[in-house]
Amino acid sequence: MNNRTFGFLLLLFLTSALHAQNVNDALRYSVFDLGLSTGRALGSGGAMGALGADFSVLSTNPAGLGWYRKSEFIFTPAVSPTLTQSRLNDDENARVFEDSRGGFNIASLGTIVAGQPRNSNWTTFNFGIGVNRIADFNQKFFFDGRTRGSITDRFLELANSDGLDDFEAGVAFDAFAIYDANNDGFYNSDFELAPNARVQKDQLVTSRGSMNELAFSLAGNYNERVLIGMTIGVPFVNFSEEKVYRESDPNDDIPFFNRLEYTENVTTTGTGINFKAGIIVRPHQAVRLGMAVHSPTAFRLSDSYRSSMGYEYTEDGQRFSERANSPDGLFEYRLRTPWRFIGSAGLIIGKVGFISAELEQVNYSRNRFDFGSFVDTEREVNDNIKSALSAATHLRIGGELAYEVFRFRGGIGIHGSAFGSDDPTSTSFSLGLGLRERSFFMDLGYRRHSFREFYYPYLTSQAPQPSATNEVTRNQVLLSFGFKF
């Protein structure tokens, strides 16, 4: 993903009927790795929009489909490990933990059918169909340390303001993590007896899934000067996450309390639809200029979720262990992502190679959820998105050097932040090799993208809350096999 220094505000507005979304969810389904689904495109930094003749352009600038002279089948297996180094903030003795997640996947699979229309002014009229991988959700990280505050502070704030829900405060109450000591509707916790205690805490977060786009594309080449193309994209979302959060009191600083464990599981599935249109102009034999517009993606998504809590405490010398489980929650909703605008340029250097660049502009604050009859929550979440996010610019530059049947590639990406100019950009680097024969080609691409993100395991309005810093490195290795016919 091109996401930058994220403040992952994982405030889940949970009620017994609704698992509402937030800024993080909007970004997850609107930050795309466009143009990185083939070995050639990945090795060139994803900057193939104006040059075309690569399967990845079906999801960036479909006008590039018009450069094909022969039909083609392409298959791209990939390995995409994500390495995360995590450390709990506000604890100078906290250790750095390193975890990795990711494995084998299919980055692209499809075919191009090249045709020549009867009108002599149109050189080609081509059709493409297939799947491009446009987002990877696989990540795993762990942190631990000692800081002030407890997750029960959050449950108390929820219970004392809105009552007991089914997934957070209600589960905590059923597990005796919070309680109504005086039967007056005001809830308490053991941690209020030692408000300055530094609590031992850790969390393991495991995310899985991806977003793959089924693309149906058409493009034509008019007199070798102007190419136009269009794509109907159907992205498929598959995301799941498990978070296991634990607290303990090894030094007996907190009366009664021994340990707790709070587990959250969510699975999101759904589909969307969008439209992409592109144009490429060749003002000179060696120069190609491109422009593409992507409509918002209209998603229909479904969340299934649940939570559980285990709580252990000692009273009158006797040790107690309680556990509570939430019901299974299900919520269906819609999301509309922002418009995207992509400008591109390419310079063909004879038979030696090419240099190309792409500039992508997207305003992430335009993400909008639709919760149906939950109008007030919908307005609150959309207002948060509008105030927290902003427009971002992503620059991709790449090139290729040809020597006989071999190709050598490199690229760089500079990725703006969805949180505005106060948040730093991040950089990615790409390398690639290729082999081109008359009816067969093979392209190997590698990309490394490093960035920092901040994670909050829970949010409170007044009580102390912990945060962790994640140093993330996403690696992608793609090997494309293509056959021309």
Alpha-carbon distance of 233 to 62, in angstroms, equals 11
Give residue 8's pLDDT. 33
- Beta strands 440-456 and 7-9 are parallel
Token pair for residue 437? 């024969």
pLDDT at 421: 63
pLDDT at 423: 67
pLDDT at 120 (0 to 100): 80
Percent share of the chain, pLDDT over 70:
95
Residue 404 to residues 71, 353, 440: CA-CA distances in angstroms? 22, 11, 15
* Ramachandran assignment for 270, one of left (phi > 0), alpha (psi -120 to 50 degrees), beta (any other): left
Residue 22 neighbours by CB under 8 Å, 6+ apart: 9, 10, 11, 12, 13, 381, 384
Beta strands in 102-197 (DSSP E): 104-113, 122-136, 139-148
The pLDDT score that the predictor gives to residue 10 is: 33
Task: Please give the Cα distance from 107 to 131 (Å, whole number).
Answer: 8
Instruction: Calculate ∠ Cα 451-360-411, nearest 5°.
Output: 60
Q: What is the pLDDT of residue 23?
A: 84
What is this structure's pTM?
0.88
Ranges under pLDDT 70 in the chain: 1-21, 421-423
Tokens of 156: 């108390």
d(CA 228, CA 219): 6
